[in-house]
Structure 1
């Protein structure tokens, strides 16, 4: 049980939290919590604008009476963890959240940032996740599935935000072929995505080694009436990474030198960010580079 108090706008804001845990037979744990949290700084960035993905700058403002409200969220969550056997673990969790006083720039703004008093409203979210993990001396395997329903509400309607995909599947395996070598293979997939099409001229090419950077041209806008109305295909990515380290002794100090490399989007899948461009609202815009490669050297002492 806990209670936090914050003074803002000349008054205190209380954020209570109650949490409980119950152990059953040494193999299962049940946890639950009820909380209220406040958010005193909100973003004036249009989260549904394609410009924010290319240039992830933010503009944060504190509460202003009658303009920027203090947001709060009430949440209830439950979780259960089962230790099936040594190295084998399963977990299930669920939550429900209600939010009030949320600034919704995308509901009334077509530009990347708010140019006038932004709309505000409420939001509701609920979801569940299932997770399994198996570990041993030479490997660790994990898979997680999540299902959620998220919706923002404002005076003129409601919409599903771009980050509110219906379900998510991720997992991977980490192996230790030798005591100094780590190999990881992971996957990440999002299903039931909704995006906001970009209106106006736009040309966008994601960062890649060939062009030595990114390309972006145009002044795309987002129509508030089209926020979250377009369905996008699943986002799928598989990554492979390798890390090899060695220990060196430099005088009285011991140092660790490691070489590492990561190859993202192993099968070069074309993932859609949104739609727009010269061919109309149905021309897909790429979300991720086909196959970025990162190689580096890590020195610790």
Structure 2
């Protein structure tokens, strides 16, 4: 609608030879800013201000003018004006008008494949993101793998933990999955960093109780890593006194392809004295690559992961004068190399529904020199699978061929050879439903088969009931059976196991090692106590069979004789209390554990702590600073006396730690001794600068004082004529880590 107004100007209080007034919106009377006011046939132009007022100079007294008002979103208006010799007031109303926009198409640079449906009711599921890890007072860093190491269900030897011992299980009983691709590669020696570069992983989901039926071949847990993508141009990395890590990500073209690369390399030796060249080969290196591209119906992701680790140290302690003629170059050596290549195709078929197909190939090699004994192991795996996952339904299949070889040699004679090459086929399906609103039930079955062991069934069942009108409290109960076809010849009861990152996988064969089995019954209580506090209690009972008990086959770090198989029983409970506030965070974890292994008449406890306690406090100061205090305690850890001495000294901030000796246990059943109680306090200071678009700090520095009170915690005891001599864990240390994140 065009509203026309004819006005004859009169002299008013305004600049001479000018037109002025207010432009309002018709119907509301509000002033319209940014209206273009001009005279047809003349160059003079004015714009209305924020209140709709305008002033237009003309220098054309006594003439009839066509005054034009224009603005997007309003119909244009023309007003005939007779200009006087002075100023004139012309107020107008503009009628709103619809705008015909050009069709707009939004094409994202990257469309991530939909993640597996997240079921918050699943029993025994633990999830952690990088943001949550940075806020966790027990972690304080954007490293989900470090956060996983501090979870309530994970045991180990405190600060020395190369592998996760979940709910009384051994380190080889965990399956690490990168977007569904199995990673059996090595871990850095001494647990100084996580199993993968921290920049390569954005989140982790761990299934410890009743895992989804699509997961198999691990007795204790399934660690599902969500990989990083190159959705934007970014550069992220970190550096500490031991290693440097760098990652880059970038979109490729305009069709949604992305590339992400990450690498990590140690630049200083971790332990042991350098050789005559003042150099040491001890350390680790890892590389990760992820290429994602659109595909018909969805996306296709290509992955590569490679690792190379080494730890070498003198086989004897510092030589005395009487040993001057003895060779000083004899070293114990552990090496490990691994690689994984795989492709995953994802097709989203609806909300929370997807179809995936994947294929992979991996290689893992390990070797060791331990005095006169050498060991070499090799694993090759090729596999493929497909699955459908939805909100309540899951079904699929997988097929893999695993080849392992393990060979031990003493001087020139062969001591032990174990080879296996099983072909494993599996099919699975599960269904969930809600019989009533507060009650959820899930049932599933996984069937796996080999030519040697036939068909093995794995039933899985869990149920959860929410209590109260708002469901603030829930109770859950679950049962799961899982089989494992690949175990390890690594002796996790050896004191050296706390340091080495190499593994010695052995697959089930028709000779000595059969598939291991775990039957687990678990219960869980979740509760919200007020607006911020959460409490979770877990109890479990596990029955294990077919276990390769390497501790009964050797006194050293790996098996040098036929490995007996046996049974195991585990029972325990964990409790976790969290209280996140605006400036203050609290996390409290406690656990009890009883874990035993049995082979014939021999029954022995594992080396896990019987009681554990962890408490983290974090306080956020002004200027993006955080003070963090972590407290850890453990009791009831069992040990076996060593018949050979051992030296272990921490590296401090910039120095090189010392490790030497060839510790082996005395004869007899393992873990008949008990270590003193363990306690440690860490104090950390974190400072951040700037925020990126994703909300992550652009630069972060973290200074941590480990073992703040310099407590002497024991790792082991050495048998001596004057009584057991302790081998201590780290004394007080100082560490500094700098992390950066730059993105466009």
Look up the SS of the partner of 1:114 in the other structure. coil
Picking from 166, 169, 176, the partner of 2:613 is 169
2:627 and 2:707 mapped to 1: Cα distance? 16
2:722 and 2:551 mapped to 1: Cα distance? 21
1:4 and 1:67 mapped to 2: Cα distance? 25
Shift of 1:277: 6.0
Which residue of the partner structure matches residue 734 of structure 2? 293
Which residue of the partner structure matches residue 197 of structure 1? 641
Shift of 1:19: 1.2
Go from structure 1 to structure 2 and tell me whether the alpha carbon gap of 1:219 and 1:102 turns closer, same or farther (over 3 Å shift): same
1:293 and 1:44 mapped to 2: Cα distance? 35
- On the 8 A contact 2:688/2:697 being kept in 1, the answer is no
Go from structure 1 to structure 2 and tell me whether the alpha carbon gap of 1:249 and 1:98 turns closer, same or farther (over 3 Å shift): closer
Shift of 1:182: 2.5
Show CA shifts across 1:216-261 (max 9, x none).
Answer: 33332223514111111011111122222112689xxx97111112
1:127 and 1:79 mapped to 2: Cα distance? 12
- On the 8 A contact 1:147/1:166 being kept in 2, the answer is yes
Q: Does 1:221 align with 2:664?
A: yes
Go from structure 1 to structure 2 and tell me whether the alpha carbon gap of 1:275 and 1:38 turns closer, same or farther (over 3 Å shift): same
Picking from 478, 482, 490, the partner of 1:37 is 482
Residue correspondence of structure 1 range 232-271 to structure 2 within 5 A: 232-247=675-690, 256-271=698-713
1:187 and 1:105 mapped to 2: Cα distance? 33
Shift of 1:69: 1.6
Where structure 1 has 5 or more consecutive residues not aligned to the other structure, the ranges are: none
Equivalent pairs counted in the alignment come to: 295
2:611 and 2:586 mapped to 1: Cα distance? 21
Which residue of the partner structure matches residue 88 of structure 1? 533
Where structure 2 has 5 or more consecutive residues not aligned to the other structure, the ranges are: 1-442
Shift of 1:169: 0.9
- On the 8 A contact 1:109/1:224 being kept in 2, the answer is no
Q: Does 1:187 align with 2:631?
A: yes
1:100 and 1:197 mapped to 2: Cα distance? 27
Go from structure 1 to structure 2 and tell me whether the alpha carbon gap of 1:72 and 1:249 turns closer, same or farther (over 3 Å shift): closer
If asked which structure has higher relative contact order (CA below 8 Å, sep 6+), I would say: 1
Which residue of the partner structure matches residue 513 of structure 2? 68
Which residue of the partner structure matches residue 230 of structure 1? 673
Structure 1 runs, 4 residues or longer, greater than 4 Å off:
277-281
1:139 and 1:185 mapped to 2: Cα distance? 12
1:120 and 1:153 mapped to 2: Cα distance? 9
Q: Does 1:113 align with 2:558?
A: yes
- On the 8 A contact 1:28/1:82 being kept in 2, the answer is yes
Which residue of the partner structure matches residue 23 of structure 1? 466
Picking from 589, 593, 612, the partner of 1:144 is 589
- On the 8 A contact 2:646/2:662 being kept in 1, the answer is no
Look up the SS of the partner of 2:668 in the other structure. helix
1:178 and 1:16 mapped to 2: Cα distance? 53
Show CA shifts across 1:154-195 (max 9, x none).
Answer: 1231111112x2111111112222372232211111111111
TM-score normalised per structure 1: 0.90
Greater C-alpha Rg = 2
2:520 and 2:667 mapped to 1: Cα distance? 28
Shift of 1:148: 1.5
Go from structure 1 to structure 2 and tell me whether the alpha carbon gap of 1:186 and 1:8 turns closer, same or farther (over 3 Å shift): farther
Q: CA RMSD for the aligned pairs?
A: 2.3
- Out of 74-83 and 14-23, give the one that drifted further: 14-23
- On the 8 A contact 2:653/2:733 being kept in 1, the answer is no
Go from structure 1 to structure 2 and tell me whether the alpha carbon gap of 1:8 and 1:185 turns closer, same or farther (over 3 Å shift): farther
2:502 and 2:582 mapped to 1: Cα distance? 43
Which residue of the partner structure matches residue 207 of structure 1? 650
Shift of 1:55: 2.7
1:93 and 1:144 mapped to 2: Cα distance? 11
- On the 8 A contact 1:126/1:150 being kept in 2, the answer is yes
Shift of 1:53: 2.1
Q: Does 1:157 align with 2:569?
A: no
2:664 and 2:510 mapped to 1: Cα distance? 29
TM-score normalised per structure 2: 0.38
Look up the SS of the partner of 1:72 in the other structure. strand
